[in-house]
Amino acid sequence: MPKLQGFEFWSRTLGGARHVVAPMVDQSELAWRLLSRRHGAQLCYTPMLHAQVFVRDANYRKENLYCEVCPEDRPLIVQFCANDPEVFVQAALLAQDYCDAIDLNLGCPQMIAKRGHYGAFLQEEWDLLQRMILLAHEKLSVPVTCKIRVFPEIDKTVKYAQMLEKAGCQLLTVHGRTKEQKGPLSGTASWEHIKAVRKAVAIPVFANGNIQCLRDVERCIQDTGVQGVMSAEGNLHNPALFEGRSPAVWELAEEYLDIVRQHPCPLSYVRAHLFKLWHHTLQVHQELREELAKVKTLEGVTAVNQELKLRCQEDISRQKEGEKPSGGLPFFHWICQPYFRPGPREGSKENGGARSKRALEEEEGGTDVLSKNKQKKQLRNPHKTFDPSLKPKYAKCDQCGNPKGNRCVFNLCRGCCKKRAFREAADCPGNLPLLNIEG
């Protein structure tokens, strides 16, 4: 059967999916995908997988894809981060029989993506991206798709999207934020950029950004003309978002825990999901936040979840008796509802673009501007410093930009060093035992 492309792929293979759950590291695992599908999601992505690790590590493949095969979990798109055409295609070939498409992550804005040279930090390397998409389009039996972030300029974003389409991308997800817009500096996603891309390409487009409820989904489709809408944060706080419901938190939390018992995943994933679901309630019953953070078993998590449910039911009873909540906390904290991230402080924008959180920390230098995570680290170790000038500098691989191996005489990382070793061994097999491939 010939490989479907573009709109035919979207309508036939993906069933014309409009409600999409985003790829989320450690958060869009099988159990969460199944919960989301039960409540209106029509298409899900796996968490971002590292292509190089996927190729070389059989356990990584098993833990993240092979052992999670489930007939209910389709259609499914597997997302990889990569910066090498050959490695990307090798990983995709190993995954293509377990999914309906392969997605290339070009949207991750985090520091780990900058260090690893992938995600949104490839968006200026158009020649490399063309080669990656073209090779995948030629070699794979399933379509290749991309998830991108926008440039500040609409024109450049449109040209970027058209380049990916020409290379062979069959579906494009556009997150309407730049790579600098993240964390507390996220701001509002630009639907204008998304609308311009949709008008300029002849492949299906999904929109990502500013989706907190079903009304947002409908408005986004109407305003931008996209084929579907992807949700990440909104889905984590309310998995029933695509149903247009805001059920009691314990209803979805208990359903999720039941699914986890059938399809186990690391406890850290479960705990993170419950922190999101119970976000507003944990502001009211803060002592249970500590309990949830400390538990070491699924049974312990279930017990904290049950206690939160009981506390909420008590709060509901008191409200019915006319008692008002104190402290300006959420009145109906026990229902699934969006979390609106506080915006950057006044003066955090310069020349129309938000400065990074790191830049603000360096400028003001106090713990009051450190991220919550860094403040926790400083509490555990008062002598810890976050001064970037004091951090060790690592030599980079000459080929891919990853940290260079300490023992590699060719200034390469471990992966590139191994490739060189095997290439040389192919030319002269007797050399293989003599080569240093430890990186």
Task: Give the residue carrying structure tokens 């471990």.
Answer: 414
Q: What is the pLDDT of residues 59-82, one digit of tens each?
A: 999 999 988 779 999 999 999 999
In this prediction, residue 238 carries a pLDDT of: 96
Q: What is the pLDDT of residues 85-128, one digit of tens each?
A: 999 999 999 999 999 999 999 999 999 999 999 999 999 999 99
In this prediction, residue 318 carries a pLDDT of: 84
Q: What is the DSSP string of 179-242?
A: TT--GGG-----HHHHHHHHHH-SS-EEEESS--SHHHHHHHHHHH--SEEEESHHHHH-TTGG
Please check whether residue 150 is in contact with residue 353, taking contact to mean a CB–CB distance below 8 angstroms: no
Asked if the bond preceding 382 is cis, omega within 30° of 0, the reply is no
Span 155-170, average pLDDT = 98
More confident residue, 376 or 271: 271
Q: To the nearest whole number, what is the mean pLDDT of the chain?
A: 87
In this prediction, residue 183 carries a pLDDT of: 81
Q: How far apart are the C-alpha atoms of 266 and 283, rounded to whole Å?
A: 25
User: Which of 54, 36, 87 minimizes the C-alpha distance to 399?
Assistant: 87
Instruction: Collect all residues with Cβ–Cβ distance below 8 Å to 122 and sequence separation of at least 6.
Output: 83, 106, 128, 129
DSSP type of residue 399: T
Instruction: Collect all residues with Cβ–Cβ distance below 8 Å to 361 and sequence separation of at least 6.
Output: 369, 370, 371, 374, 386
Grouping H, G, I as helix, E, B as strand and the rest as coil, residue 152 is: coil
Q: What is the pLDDT of residues 307-320, one digit of tens each?
A: 999 999 998 888 77
Q: Is pLDDT at 291 greater than 90 in this prediction?
A: yes
Length of the chain: 439
Span 177-181, average pLDDT = 94
Lowest pLDDT segment from 33-42, 65-74, 79-88, 328-337: 328-337
Query: What band does 434 get if pLDDT is binned at 50, 70 and 90?
Result: very low
In this prediction, residue 425 carries a pLDDT of: 62
Q: What is the pLDDT of residues 359-402, one digit of tens each?
A: 544 444 444 456 777 777 777 777 777 776 666 667 778 777 77
Instruction: Measure CA 24 to chain center.
Output: 3
DSSP type of residue 390: G
Q: Is pLDDT at 163 greater than 60 in this prediction?
A: yes
**Strand ranges, E, within 256-373:** 349-350, 353-354
Residue percentage of the chain with pLDDT more than 90: 69
- Given the residues 99, 108, 312, 400, the one annotated as active site: 108
Query: What band does 322 get if pLDDT is binned at 50, 70 and 90?
Result: low
Query: What band does 39 get if pLDDT is binned at 50, 70 and 90?
Result: very high
Please check whether residue 352 is in contact with residue 151, taking contact to mean a CB–CB distance below 8 angstroms: no
Q: How far apart are the C-alpha atoms of 313 and 207, rounded to whole Å?
A: 37
Q: How far apart are the C-alpha atoms of 103 and 160, rounded to whole Å?
A: 16
In this prediction, residue 391 carries a pLDDT of: 67
Query: Is 397 considered catalytic here?
Result: no
Q: Both tokens of residue 392?
A: 């060790």
Q: Please, which residues bridge with residue 105 across strands?
A: 147
Grouping H, G, I as helix, E, B as strand and the rest as coil, residue 349 is: strand
Q: What is the pLDDT of residues 400-411, one digit of tens each?
A: 777 878 777 777
In this prediction, residue 239 carries a pLDDT of: 97
Q: What is the pLDDT of residues 188-246, one digit of tens each?
A: 999 999 999 999 999 999 999 999 999 999 999 999 999 999 999 999 999 999 999 99
Q: Is pLDDT at 170 greater than 80 in this prediction?
A: yes
More confident residue, 368 or 290: 290
Backbone angles phi, psi at 354, to 5 degrees: -75, 135
Q: How far apart are the C-alpha atoms of 288 and 313, rounded to whole Å?
A: 15
Span 261-270, average pLDDT = 95
More confident residue, 79 or 354: 79
In this prediction, residue 395 carries a pLDDT of: 78
Please check whether residue 225 is in contact with residue 199, taking contact to mean a CB–CB distance below 8 angstroms: yes
Instruction: Measure CA 214 to chain center.
Output: 21
Residue percentage of the chain with pLDDT more than 70: 85
Please check whether residue 280 is in contact with residue 337, taking contact to mean a CB–CB distance below 8 angstroms: yes
Grouping H, G, I as helix, E, B as strand and the rest as coil, residue 62 is: helix
DSSP type of residue 255: H
Task: Give the residue carrying structure tokens 């869009």.
Answer: 28
Instruction: Collect all residues with Cβ–Cβ distance below 8 Å to 172 and sequence separation of at least 6.
Output: 145, 146, 147, 148, 161, 164, 165, 197, 201, 203, 204, 205, 206
Helices (H), 23-142: 30-38, 51-56, 58-64, 85-95, 111-116, 126-139
Backbone angles phi, psi at 21, to 5 degrees: -95, 130
Q: Is pLDDT at 301 greater than 90 in this prediction?
A: yes
More confident residue, 426 or 351: 426
